[in-house]
Amino acid sequence: MSGKRKGLGRATVHDVAKLAGVSSITVSRYFKQPGIVSQGLRDRIADAVARLDYLPNHAAGGLASTHGRIVAMVIPNISGPIFANTIQSFSDELNRHGYQLLLASSSFSIEKEESAVRAFLGWSPAALVLTSQYHSEETERLIAKANMPIVETWDYVPARNPLQVGFSHVEVGRQSVAYLHGKGYERIAFVQNSMVGDLSALDRRDGYIAQMTENGLKPWVFVPTQADPFEAGRQAINALLLRPQPAEAIIFANDNLAAGGMLAGTRAGMSFPGDCAIFGFGNYAFAELLLPSLTTIRPPAREIGEIAALRILQALGDIPVEGAVPHLNLLDCELIVRESA
Partner DNA sequence: TTGTAGGCGTTATCAT
Partner DNA sequence: ATGATAACGCCTACAA
Binding site for a second copy (CB under 8 A): 6-9, 53, 55-60, 62-63, 66-68, 70, 77-81, 84-85, 87-88, 91-92, 95, 98, 100-105, 107, 115-116, 118-124, 145, 147, 230, 256, 259-260, 263, 266, 284-286, 288-291
Does 31 engage in binding with DNA (CB under 7 A)? yes
Of 14, 51, 118, 141, the residue at the interface with DNA (CB under 7 A) is: 14
CB of 147 to DNA, least distance (A): 11
Smallest distance from a second copy to CB 104, Å: 6
**Residue 102 partner contact from DNA, a second copy, none using kind-dependent CB cut-offs of 5 to 8 Å:** a second copy
Residue 173 or 265 with smaller CB distance to a second copy: 265
> Which of 14, 20, 327, 276 has the alpha carbon at shortest distance from 164?
327
Alpha helical stretches, state H, the chain: 13-20, 24-32, 39-52, 58-64, 84-96, 110-121, 137-145, 169-182, 199-214, 229-241, 255-267, 301-315
The residue (of 56 and 219) whose beta carbon lies closer to a second copy is 56
Residues binding DNA: number (CB under 7 A): 35
Give 189: exposed, middle or buried? Use CB within 10 Å, 0-12, 13-18, 19+: buried
Q: How many residues does the chain have?
A: 341
> Is residue 169 a contact residue for DNA (CB under 7 A)?
no
Do 162 and 222 meet the contact criterion of CB atoms below 8 Å apart? Answer: no
Q: Name, in order, each residue with C-beta under 8 angstroms of 116's C-beta and a sequence gap of 6 or more.
A: 74, 104, 106
Query: Which is nearer to DNA, 3 or 216 (by Cβ)?
Result: 3
Site for DNA in 54-73 (CB under 7 A): 54, 56-57, 60-61, 63-66
For residues 234 and 256, give the distance between their C-alpha atoms in angstroms, rounded to a whole number.
11
Q: Name the binder of 24 from DNA, a second copy, none, CB < 5-8 A by kind.
A: DNA
CB of 341 to DNA, least distance (A): 55
Binding partner of 13, given DNA, a second copy, none, CB within 5-8 angstroms per partner class:
DNA
| Choice between 50 and 328, CB closer to a second copy | 50
Is 238 an interacting residue with respect to DNA (CB under 7 A)? Answer: no
123: contact with DNA by CB under 7 A: no
Cβ atoms < 10 Å from Cβ of 72: 24
194 part of the interface to DNA, by CB under 7 A: no
- Residue 291 or 337: the one with the smaller Cβ distance to a second copy is 291
- Do the Cβ atoms of 44 and 22 come closer than 8 Å? yes
Q: Exposure pattern of 254-291 as b/e (b: 16+ CB <10 Å)?
A: bbbbbbbbbbbbbeeebebbebbbbbbbbbbeebeebe
Q: Which is nearer to a second copy, 74 or 177 (CB)?
A: 74
CA-wise closest residue to 278 among 267, 286, 243, 265: 265
Q: CA-CA distances (angstroms) from residue 67 to 28, 146, 166?
A: 16, 12, 27
Distance, in Å, from the CA atom of 23 to the CA atom of 86, rounded to the nearest integer, reads 43
Residues that bind DNA (CB under 7 A): 3-8, 10, 12-14, 21-26, 28-29, 31-32, 35-38, 40-41, 54, 56-57, 60-61, 63-66
